[in-house]
């Protein structure tokens, strides 16, 4: 436990925590060390120049990052920032990982791109790795699917799932929705086209994905959206409402087991079981969007890996960490659904190219190493020990801690608070993210150390102590 620094300028902060004599917040990082402004003139000039040529769809602070290493980023004046955002849960192995760099250099010198008119050696290798590891670790119900042939010893072993590669997560979700529609029409006729999503979801920004992202700020400018999408309440345990929501006209249901952008809400296992059962009853394809929470971020391969059979999906979508920042996405589809996706049903120019899939194969081999998984879980427990203090230290600010593993959310009672906390932390050299209306999101690289967690939460506690004093 950190020592409480009782320096003279900070003594007045103590009175806020008199009811918690056993714990006191870290005040080591109350001073601003990385001010957003004034940025160097050369940086401002470059940003101004670039702004003339780029569509400015993002609000960015005047910081220009030029390099990274492991969990750190360095700006144009060589200030070091601890990155607890990992490029929005992307750089699982950290920035500029030497192994990833070596793979990129080697493969780029051989063959970077090849159209899907021909086979390449790495797309199949990565697809096999995804299926085999999912069968080993749990997910998609593959452990309960028979994967060997008992009638013909010479026959190829049965495989419980197939993979389609895309370039991004939103493309993976778009493809999954298309697959659900095609399968639905095949088993239920032309009217089985309905799609169900849930409150606070974020599935991407293509027209299909955004139609399943029920947030007015994302949807309103682009209406009309695709028809036939219904929105249910996340974690609503009312069976009658679920029956009405998911009827025989529904072909697909898409849900995040742990929501990312929407506020790090976690799906109750019993609700996901009920959802899975209902989907089976009406022949709807259950799609788990694990783009942000999958691929070992929770300490398991999938957020649903250890869930009961009824809570297992028919399709998993993935992307963010799969190639540590190189663009790639993938759709993992149960074989009974995949059989309906025939030649010409879907396509891509860049998806499954040899460079992206070789990087993905390497990254997945690292993430799935047993010692690496053990390290993730050890660090995640250390982080959780810190986070569990916050509602007790700041009961007037923090409402709850969400998520698990290394996807965590700190929910605040005041919706203005998350943006202010992220700004204050950045000016003290730590990068967090907001999520939803009320949450600060922590999604560091999976290589993050306990010492880096100490620093990140120390900065967070210092910022919250200062905000408490203002109040």
Encode pLDDT of 352-406 as tens digits. 999 999 999 999 999 999 999 999 999 999 999 999 999 999 999 999 999 999 9
* Every domain range in the chain assigned CATH 3.40.640.10: 121-370
Q: In what order do the strands lie in the sheet with 72-75?
A: 65-69, 72-75, 80-83, 430-431
Sign of the CA dihedral running 278, 283, 284, 289: positive
Question: β-pairing, 250-255 with 194-198?
Answer: parallel
pTM score above 0.85: yes
**Average pLDDT, rounded, for the chain:** 93
Q: Is 345 helix (H, G, I), strand (E, B) or coil?
A: coil
* Residue 155 confidence (pLDDT): 53
* Residue 39 confidence (pLDDT): 86
Lowest mean pLDDT across 133-137, 155-159, 234-238, 383-387: 155-159
Q: Considering the domain delimited by 121-370, tell me its CATH architecture.
A: 3-Layer(aba) Sandwich (3.40)
Nearest in space to 296 (alpha carbons), one of 311, 264, 318: 318
* Residue 37 confidence (pLDDT): 85
Helix, strand, coil share of the chain (percent; to 5): 40, 15, 45
Token readout for 289 is 């969007």
Stated as kind and residue range, the H or E segment containing 231 is: strand 229-232
Query: Distance between CA 317 and CA 182 in Å, rounded?
Result: 17
- Could you report the per-residue pLDDT of 284-339, keeping only the tens digit for each? 999 999 999 999 999 999 999 999 999 999 999 999 999 999 999 999 999 999 99
pLDDT band at 1 (very low <50, low <70, confident <90, very high): very low
Q: CA–CA distance from 1 to each of 4, 194, 226, 448, 451 (Å)?
A: 9, 53, 53, 19, 13
pLDDT band at 5 (very low <50, low <70, confident <90, very high): very low
Sign of the CA dihedral running 304, 306, 309, 310: negative
Contact between residue 79 and residue 65 where contact means Cβ atoms under 8 Å apart: no
pLDDT band at 13 (very low <50, low <70, confident <90, very high): very low
* Residue 19 confidence (pLDDT): 44
What residues pair up with 316 in beta bridges, in sequence order? Answer: 288, 332
Q: Is 135 helix (H, G, I), strand (E, B) or coil?
A: helix
Token readout for 333 is 């589809």
Contact between residue 253 and residue 286 where contact means Cβ atoms under 8 Å apart: yes
Query: Distance between CA 377 and CA 301 in Å, rounded?
Result: 12
């Amino acid at each position: 436990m950190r020592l409480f620094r009782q320096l003279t300028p900070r003594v007045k902060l103590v009175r806020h925590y008199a009811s918690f004599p056993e714990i006191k917040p870290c005040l080591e990082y109350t001073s601003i060390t990385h001010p957003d402004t004034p940025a160097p003139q050369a940086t401002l000039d470059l940003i101004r120049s670039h702004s003339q040529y780029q569509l400015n769809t993002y609000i960015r602070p005047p910081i220009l990052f030029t390099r990274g290493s492991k969990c750190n980023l360095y700006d144009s004046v060589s200030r070091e920032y601890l990155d607890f955002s990992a490029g929005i849960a992307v750089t699982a192995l950290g920035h500029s990982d030497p192994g990833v760099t070596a793979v990129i250099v080697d493969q780029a010198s051989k063959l970077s791109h090849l159209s899907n008119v021909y086979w390449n050696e790495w797309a199949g290798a990565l697809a096999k790795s995804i299926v085999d590891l999912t069968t080993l670790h749990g997910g998609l119900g593959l452990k309960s699917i028979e994967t060997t042939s008992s009638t013909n010893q010479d026959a190829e072993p049965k495989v419980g799932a197939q993979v389609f590669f895309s370039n991004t997560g939103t493309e993976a979700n778009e493809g999954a929705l298309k697959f659900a529609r095609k399968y639905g029409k095949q088993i239920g006729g032309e009217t089985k086209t309905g799609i169900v999503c849930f409150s606070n979801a974020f599935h991407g920004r293509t027209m299909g994905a955004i139609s399943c992202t029920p947030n007015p700020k994302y949807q309103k400018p682009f209406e009309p959206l695709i028809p036939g999408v219904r929105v249910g309440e996340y974690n609503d345990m009312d069976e009658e409402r679920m029956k009405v929501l998911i009827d025989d006209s529904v072909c697909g249901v898409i849900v995040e087991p742990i929501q990312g952008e929407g506020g790090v809400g976690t799906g109750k296992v019993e609700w996901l079981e009920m959802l899975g059962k209902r989907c089976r009853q009406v022949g709807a394809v259950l799609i788990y969007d694990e783009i942000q929470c999958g691929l070992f971020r929770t300490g398991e391969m999938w957020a649903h890996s250890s869930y009961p059979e009824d809570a297992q999906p028919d399709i998993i979508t993935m992307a963010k960490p799969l190639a540590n920042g190189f663009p790639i996405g993938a759709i993992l589809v149960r074989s009974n659904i995949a059989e309906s996706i025939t030649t010409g049903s879907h396509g891509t120019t860049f998806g499954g190219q040899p460079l992206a899939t070789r990087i993905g194969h390497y990254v997945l081999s690292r993430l799935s190493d047993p010692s690496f998984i053990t390290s993730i879980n050890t660090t995640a427990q250390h982080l959780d020990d810190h986070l569990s203090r916050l509602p007790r230290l700041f009961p007037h600010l923090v409402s709850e801690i969400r998520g698990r593993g290394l996807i965590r959310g700190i929910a605040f009672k005041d919706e203005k608070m998350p943006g202010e906390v992220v700004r204050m932390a950045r000016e003290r050299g730590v990068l967090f993210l907001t999520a939803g209306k009320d949450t600060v999101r922590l999604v560091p690289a999976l290589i993050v150390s306990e010492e880096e967690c100490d620093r990140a939460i120390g900065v967070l506690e210092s910022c919250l102590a200062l905000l408490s004093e203002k109040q």
